[in-house]
Amino acid sequence: MKKRKFGLALSVVLAAGTLLGACGSKDDTTKGDKEDNFSLAMVTDLGGVDDKSFNQSAWEGIQKFGKDNGMKKGDGGYDYLQSASSSEYNTNLTNMNRRNFDLIFGVGYLMADAVKEVADQKPDTNFSIIDATVDAPNVASILFKEQEGAFLAGVAAASVTKSNKIGFVGGIDIPVINRFHAGFVEGVKAVNPDIKVDVQYTGAFDKAELGKTTANRMFTTGVDVIFHAAGATGNGVFTEAKERKAKDPNANVWVIGVDADQYKEGQVNDKTNVTLTSVMKRVDVAVQDVAKQAKEGKFPGGETLVYGLSDNGMALADSHGAISDETMKKIDDFAKQIADGTIKVPEKVEKKK
């Protein structure tokens, strides 16, 4: 499978509301070449379309693309189906194909097998898988360098902690979450290798109660900053932090969000917010760009598109003053070194010998 780095100029994208396509994408003669009749859809992973994270970002991208192109929600335009369990992946993808959508996104690593199976059965439909690779001529695979954004989050956490105890709450133990985990630990170590990072995987992306109990244990043991990469499970991390802050305004508890800007999730009251920052993974932008290429008859089937810090595919959200100017300068310096290749952030945590 051909792999290439995919460049984005987010400042242009966000300012103009348009997407920049890559050069050299191969022409595709399947469904996506009739622009006036183009339609697209997505099938969510288990977190749901309103998970305030990964699935929601993808859906926001599809909605924006649809509205920008005068499309309506529903058949012939844009739509989504929500998966309540993994057993629904194949069914939902097949249902979207039966409704004649030209491009169908499978959102999440866990959907790779289902996308592969349905794409093989439906060679005239274009599919795209996010966070995994599927080797098929009618599938575009989308990956991100999560470790790069997470590194910057680690720098932020290590710079504000007072206890020198930081937490990482992951969802399911899979490569994409491992990349968040690895980058975060490396970022912390770059500031202070003596800081302890408590790492816990909950085994779920849709269990807010697990996120809450895990955060409770961490905060109780002295952790004062938690970065979650757990989808809707991470909503429970915010809940625990907000409850503690509401009970004790002087409590030093912070949460770092994931995938989208989760500042609103940390709002305790008009004056207090527990969100330190968020590692923004621009799933919405990736979805819009692949859709643009497909609509123009240039669907990158059989290719893997990789979005990283140098492409503005990863970024930290506005801290709203929670991070000092001095720390922001430090983060910017690290970001430049990562973007130019001076610092290479590992995708996996090094095992202790």
Q: What is the pTM of this model?
A: 0.85
Distance of CA 229 to the CA centre of its chain: 9
Let me know if 76 is exposed, middle or buried by CB neighbors in 10 A (0-12, 13-18, 19+).
middle
**Sign of the dihedral through C-alpha 190, 192, 194, 195:** negative
Distance of CA 59 to the CA centre of its chain: 12
**What is the pairing mode between strands 303-307 and 314-316?**
unpaired
> What is the pLDDT at residue 145?
97
pLDDT tens figures, 60-107: 999 999 999 999 999 999 999 999 999 999 999 999 999 999 999 999
pLDDT tens figures, 256-266: 999 989 999 99
Per DSSP (E only), the strands in 308-351 are 314-316
In order of their start, the domains of the chain are 2-145+282-311 (3.40.50.2300), 146-280+315-339 (3.40.50.2300)
pLDDT tens figures, 171-215: 999 999 999 999 999 999 999 999 999 999 999 999 999 999 999
Bigger pLDDT: 10 vs 281: 281
The percentage of the chain sitting over the pLDDT mark of 70, rounded to a whole number, equals 89
pLDDT tens figures, 151-167: 999 999 999 999 999 99
CA distance linking residue 158 with residue 193, whole number of Å = 9
Let me know if 197 is exposed, middle or buried by CB neighbors in 10 A (0-12, 13-18, 19+).
buried
* 222 has a pLDDT exceeding 50: yes
pLDDT tens figures, 271-329: 999 999 999 999 999 999 999 999 999 999 999 999 999 988 899 999 999 999 999 99
* 18 has a pLDDT exceeding 90: no
Please say whether the beta carbons of 265 and 52 come within 8 A. yes
